[in-house]
Amino acid sequence: QKAELAKLVNDKTVTLDNHHVELAANIGSPEDVAGAIANGAEGVGLFRTEFLYMGRNDFPTEEEQYVAYKHVLEHMGDRPVVIRTLDIGGDKHLSYLALPEEMNPFLGHRAIRLCLDNQELFRTQLRALLRASVHGNLKIMFPMIATLEEFRQAKAILEEEKKSLVNRGIVVSDQYEVGIMIEIPAAALMADQFAREVDFFSIGTNDLIQYTMAADRMNEKVAYLYQPYHPAVLRLLHNVIKAGHAQNKWVGMCGEMAGDPIAIPILLGLGLDEFSMSAGSILPARQQLSRLRVEDAAKQIDTILQMSTSAQVEAFVKEWLERV
């Protein structure tokens, strides 16, 4: 079984009916890139940069960040690398950044909200990313976007930093993309509006599920409500993918759901373009996808979206997988 999987390391991910999807890795540090490649990643779908900021006594400098981003980009060659700007607050804290106690940290001052409010912190990271952009196939991603104004403001700051680097004679690529995570229901519902302005979406189901079901992703007591296959969640995914494609934008997923063997056939049928997961899940997912047909998967979607419970969806997919 392991040997069978290992044979797929250098393959593209193609379904039985010849449809290509990209399987990418989620990484947390520059050192993870070797493991991603060893496990057959066609790209990096999520580099969680907060780990560069954690376990130390002060913010990483622009230069330190530049070196880290360059390392990942160079090692991935021409394969796409999605680097997410800082996502702290919520469950992630920095010892050297005092954040006030909040009643509801997951609904609070985190991620892009915090960055737009601490612009020096944000601008330093953006400069490091822009300088690294010449070393590979970079896609910059903003986390926890709820409104178009937030995206526009973040993008405007990025443009400002780009201009000032260029004015200083520093070379910046003009090929990088700028996209957002879809992890807040408001953004998932407004995906058609966002799709006109972003280069891509990456769906963060870890948060999207918790916000859709109002079930804290860390709370055991409500874990029964944390339902990836709930039709409410699937309808949001459907809306996001449809909206992205209507504007010719690619749509990925970097939440845990992207590597889940029950979710994969549904996501394939919904038209997801890129699946980003922990490195160890890539080869099993490639093997599973190579046995599925996108055309069959797409035909199940109407039925699935009309179901009323998560249990119903799960039973349906399991039965379908037994038939293939």
Tell me which residues touch Mg ion (CB under 5 A).
183, 204, 207
What are the backbone angles phi and psi of residue 20, rounded to the nearest 5°? -95, 130
- Beta-strand (E) ranges in the chain? 13-14, 20-27, 44-48, 80-84, 137-142, 177-182, 200-203, 250-253, 274-277
**Binding to ligand PEP in span 222-261, by CB under 6 A:** 254-255
Rounded-to-integer distance, Cα 196 and Cα 153, Å: 16
Q: Residue of minimal CB distance from Mg ion?
A: 207
**Cβ pair 314, 262 in contact under 8 A:** yes
Residue 260 interacts with, from ligand PEP, Mg ion, none (CB under 5-8 Å by kind): none
Residue with Cβ nearer Mg ion (142 or 176): 142
What lies within 8 Å, CB to CB, of 211 at 6+ separation is: 106, 183, 184, 185
Residue 185 interacts with, from ligand PEP, Mg ion, none (CB under 5-8 Å by kind): none
Q: Are strands 200-203 and 250-253 parallel, antiparallel or unpaired?
A: parallel
Q: Which of these segments, 63-71, 192-200, 205-213, 228-236, binds ligand PEP (CB under 6 A)?
A: 205-213
By the 10 Å C-beta count (0-12 exposed, 13-18 middle, 19+ buried), 247 is classed as middle
Residue with Cβ nearer ligand PEP (191 or 254): 254
- DSSP letter for 89, please: B
Rounded-to-integer distance, Cα 198 and Cα 269, Å: 23
185 binds ligand PEP (CB under 6 A): no
> What are the residues facing 21 on neighbouring strands?
13
Residue 147 interacts with, from Mg ion, ligand PEP, none (CB under 5-8 Å by kind): none
Q: Which of 29, 206, 247, 287 binds ligand PEP (CB under 6 A)?
A: 206
Residue with Cβ nearer Mg ion (54 or 165): 54
| Interface characters, 72-91, with ligand PEP (x: CB under 6 A) | ---------------x----
179 binds ligand PEP (CB under 6 A): no
What are the backbone angles phi and psi of residue 21, rounded to the nearest 5°? -125, 160
| Interface characters, 133-162, with ligand PEP (x: CB under 6 A) | ------------------------------
Residue 112 interacts with, from ligand PEP, Mg ion, none (CB under 5-8 Å by kind): none
* 288 CA to centre of own chain: 21
Give the nearest distance from C-beta 203 to ligand PEP in angstroms. Answer: 7
Give the nearest distance from C-beta 91 to Mg ion in angstroms. Answer: 9
Give the count of residues interacting with ligand PEP (CB under 6 A): 10
For 23, the token pair is: 């399987």
Q: Which residues here bind ligand PEP, judged by CB under 6 A?
A: 46, 48, 87, 183, 204-207, 254-255
